[in-house]
Amino acid sequence: MRWALVKVSLAVTAMVVVAFAVPLGLVVRELAGDRAFSNAERVAAAVAPALSITTDRDQLERVVASVGSDASLAVHLPAGDGGEALDIGRRRATAEDIAAVRKLGRVSTSAVSGGSALLQPVALSTGEIAVVEVFVPESEVTNGVGTAWAVLAAVGVALILGSVAVADRLGVRMVRPARRLVEGAHELGEGKLGARVPEEGPTELRLAAVAFNSMADQVVQLLANERELAADLSHRLRTPLTVLRLNAASLGDGPAAEQTRAAVEQLEREVDTIIRTARDAKPQTAAAGPGAGCDAAEVVRERMAFWSALAEDEGRKWRVAGADRPVRIPVARADLAAALDALLGNVFRHTAEGTAFAVDVHNGDDAVIVLVSDAGPGIPDPEAAMARGRGSGSDGSTGLGLDIVRRLAESTGGDVRIGSSVLGGTEVRIWIQLDGRERAPRRHGHRGTVRRRGPARLTASFNRLRSLP
């Protein structure tokens, strides 16, 4: 595709350059010739007043010498009464051409050796016609044409090279995302379920990358469901196997009884192996590609749709912001859904009915911020709430939900903060790092320590998000 674009651009630009440069070059040549003959006409016109006054040879020679030179200017006087024709200067045109100009009475040009001759008729006081001949060398007719053609050729070559370079860059911009999409498809076909494609390039290729990543996420989810189903079905076999084992134990002694008990034990071991294999097998979703993860906006909309029914039953006002466009994060869909359910469950569990809450999503350059805020009484001790197994001390909360959220954020290099919300209650801010950088060092203490200061860019993004209506 890249070379095809280059060839098309080369052909189109070359045709355009030829279509404009060739006529322009011909026009330049014509202009140069017109300029040379216009100068010759001005020289001939300078001699005409002298011819209308006198036909004296000496005076005309002085006029010719002052206007031009014998090499380029000549005056041809007709024969007088019984006299001979008089030529002042070097004659290059033929006698037939001069006679034709006298007869026709109009300016004419004729080809001569080394260039052209301009023949202009001038009426004398006697009524006869004299002819002024001005020699125009070939060098004057083509003066500057070669330089102009060279400039046109250079401009044409520059345009062609520029168009090829632009087409090559556009081709790279189109081919690189397409190549990554092909590589991702091959990796997914080879069983690398974590293969994802970065969403970049032209709009069509970005949409294709989004569709591919969504398809890969769906494949991973389907495989996980199949494994769970296989494990559940295998687990259901344990009950009849237990019955068989008890019945086999009551068969007594004998080869048949021993074979039956051995077969039951072998079958039970096979079922245990199937269960362990299905439970332990995990899809390759960790850091297998730059696009691995899920759409945070889609997960937020889905979970808010689930909790909105309970919110309406309890008379709670709720709001979602920033979830109207895709926001991809390097977090598994199930993990983000579990974290949101934990935070929203805390809102319903620890605030009174009718308490409003909101979920905001902010997509920054290097991080995604998810805010879950409510209008409840707030959390007196955020650090204690963040510690596993330690609640706020007033309602017996274990803090396990907040610890799930913290581990989710820290798995990306981000963190979690608890503060006061614009609604007047608690605000839990989840910072999910996008570029995979290691998080800043934390001060020593128990698990769940809340960071007090963050990067300036994150603080600015956080303040802009809090200012949203």
pLDDT band at 81 (very low <50, low <70, confident <90, very high): low
Given this model, what pLDDT does residue 441 score?
A: 42
pLDDT band at 391 (very low <50, low <70, confident <90, very high): very low
pLDDT band at 310 (very low <50, low <70, confident <90, very high): confident
Residue type, 247: N
Model confidence pLDDT, tens digit, residues 157-206? 888 888 888 877 777 777 788 888 888 888 888 878 888 888 887 788 88
Given this model, what pLDDT does residue 195 score?
A: 84
DSSP 282: -
Of 5-19, 21-35, 69-83, 349-363, the poorest mean pLDDT is in: 69-83
Given this model, what pLDDT does residue 300 score?
A: 93
The answer to whether residues 138 and 114 touch, using CB atoms and an 8 Å cutoff, is: yes
Comparing CA positions, the residue from 91, 94, 49 lying closest to residue 67 is: 49
Given this model, what pLDDT does residue 79 score?
A: 72
What average pLDDT does the segment 387-406 reach? 57
Model confidence pLDDT, tens digit, residues 49-71? 877 777 777 777 777 777 765 56
pLDDT band at 319 (very low <50, low <70, confident <90, very high): very high
Q: Is pLDDT above 60 for 342?
A: yes
Of 260-269, 325-334, 442-451, the poorest mean pLDDT is in: 442-451
> In 351-444, which residue ranges form alpha helices assigned H by DSSP?
382-386, 400-410
Given this model, what pLDDT does residue 296 score?
A: 92
Given this model, what pLDDT does residue 281 score?
A: 53
Given this model, what pLDDT does residue 390 score?
A: 41
Given this model, what pLDDT does residue 462 score?
A: 44
Given this model, what pLDDT does residue 436 score?
A: 55
CA pair distance 141, 34, nearest whole angstrom: 8
Given this model, what pLDDT does residue 297 score?
A: 92
DSSP 444: S
Mean pLDDT (the chain) is 76
Given this model, what pLDDT does residue 228 score?
A: 65
CATH architecture of 2-145: 2-Layer Sandwich (3.30)
pLDDT band at 374 (very low <50, low <70, confident <90, very high): very high
The domain spans of the chain are 2-145, 203-280, 294-466
pTM value? 0.38
Which range has highest mean pLDDT (1-15, 245-259, 330-344)? 330-344
137 phi and psi angles, rounded to 5 deg: -65, 155
The answer to whether residues 317 and 424 touch, using CB atoms and an 8 Å cutoff, is: no
Q: Is pLDDT above 80 for 354?
A: yes
Q: Measure CA 282 to chain center.
A: 36
Of 46-55, 229-238, 255-264, the poorest mean pLDDT is in: 229-238
Percent of the chain with pLDDT over 90: 9
CATH architecture of 203-280: Orthogonal Bundle (1.10)
19 phi and psi angles, rounded to 5 deg: -65, -30
Conformational region of residue 277, where left means phi above 0, alpha means psi within -120 to 50, and beta covers everything else: alpha
Comparing CA positions, the residue from 250, 26, 57, 238 lying closest to residue 149 is: 26
Model confidence pLDDT, tens digit, residues 30-39? 888 888 888 8
Where would I find the beta strands (DSSP E) of 200-356?
294-295, 318-321, 328-329
What average pLDDT does the segment 65-79 reach? 72
Given this model, what pLDDT does residue 358 score?
A: 94
The CATH H-level (homologous superfamily) assignment of domain 294-466 is Histidine kinase-like ATPase, C-terminal domain (3.30.565.10)
Given this model, what pLDDT does residue 372 score?
A: 94
Burial class (CB in 10 A: 0-12, 13-18, 19+), 164: middle
Given this model, what pLDDT does residue 437 score?
A: 47
CB-side exposure of 149: number of CA atoms within 13 Å? Answer: 14
Model confidence pLDDT, tens digit, residues 262-289? 777 777 777 666 666 655 554 444 343 4
Given this model, what pLDDT does residue 146 score?
A: 84
The answer to whether residues 224 and 283 touch, using CB atoms and an 8 Å cutoff, is: yes
Comparing CA positions, the residue from 400, 282, 412 lying closest to residue 336 is: 412
Of 31-35, 316-320, 366-370, the poorest mean pLDDT is in: 31-35
378 phi and psi angles, rounded to 5 deg: 90, 175
Percent of the chain with pLDDT over 70: 77
